Amino acid sequence: MSIIADRLNRISPSQTIVISTKARALKAAGRNIISLSAGEPDFRTPDNIAQAAMKAIEGGQTRYTDVAGTPELRKAVAERFRLDSGLDYTAEEVIVSTGGKQIIYNAMMATLNPGDEAIIPAPCWVSYPDIVTLAEGTPVIVPCKRENGFKLTAQELEAAITPRTKWVFLNSPCNPTGAAYSAQDLRPLCDVLLRHPHIWIFTDDIYAKLTYDGFRPATFVEVEPRLRPRTVTMNGVSKAYAMTGWRIGFSGAPIELTKAMNKLQGQSTSNTCSIAQAAAVEALTGPQDF
Ligand SMILES: Cc1ncc(COP(=O)(O)O)c(C=O)c1O
């Protein structure tokens, strides 16, 4: 009999990590490789952010923090949500995790019961279906059409909803397609979701600042505040501030869910790195011209 649990056999290894590892190995072997795997800026973390980390080490910020993150960082996150999108999350509704990935993991593990469904517009980031499956949920993949710019339409969303739907994921701008939703794009999706009050929304906005033509993606709660009580707004510093290795992601979400995610994180990783948290405060509150 295998030592490996059934739950692990349900999922596949992260393809992003498989491909990234291979690319790194080929680079180390001297090959000229451009990796199109992980979504990762190819420049260094800005100096002011790195300096803040060094200051944190020198200042002794090297101990456990609150599981959900330092009060300074949670406040900085809430303020950034407000400044960037006009969202009004309190610091208590914010949790900081080891990358945006752990936010997704926490949210799914904290909410999915066997058979609960999560709608995932595709092409999608490869980890969503596996995290849902690991949490014993059922991914419902909805292919989005090229002629719609790979954006989910209200009709496609409506058709995918069942009484077992617990979550709808939206990743805007989307990895891998780059599909990005304006307020106008989100409006019809909001209208569908208002008609189905049993559904929660997970909006992964981690690429929101990576647009190159002045386009500003909108986010659900900003477009439809009535969805706030059932939305997780996820973001992080990985992509926007070239900090993928620092492992800081965060969310704003209703207090009951944030508490549940905190409970789960308290029995797994506890707080993410205290030094990375200090660096993230500088990223979010320092100069934004980068
Ligand atoms: C769409 C999407 N969401 C979340 C993440 C995870 O980000 P993090 O590195 O902060 O865990 C990634 C990383 O590639 C991503 O592409």
User: Which helix (H) or strand (E) element contains residue 19?
Assistant: helix 15-28
Q: 197-246: per-residue pLDDT in tens? A: 999 999 999 999 999 888 999 999 999 999 999 999 999 999 999 999 99
Q: Could you tell which of 202, 206, 209 is best to mutate to test the pocket of ligand 1, judged by most ligand atoms within 8 Å of the CB? A: 206
Q: Domain locations in the chain?
A: 1-38, 39-285
Q: Give CA–CA dist 21/148, Å, rounded.
A: 33
pLDDT score for 39: 79
Q: 103-153: per-residue pLDDT in tens? A: 999 999 999 999 999 999 999 998 999 999 999 999 999 999 999 999 999
pLDDT score for 40: 81
Q: 168-189: per-residue pLDDT in tens? A: 999 999 999 999 999 999 999 9
For residues 39-54, average pLDDT? 93
CATH architecture, domain 39-285: 3-Layer(aba) Sandwich (3.40)
* Alpha carbon of 99 to ligand 1 centroid (Å): 7
Q: 55-89: per-residue pLDDT in tens? A: 999 999 999 999 999 999 999 999 999 999 999 99
pLDDT score for 104: 98
Q: 232-247: per-residue pLDDT in tens? A: 999 999 999 999 999 9
Q: Could you tell which of 18, 124, 127 is best to mutate to test the pocket of ligand 1, judged by most ligand atoms within 8 Å of the CB? A: 127
Contact 188, 223 (CB under 8 A): no
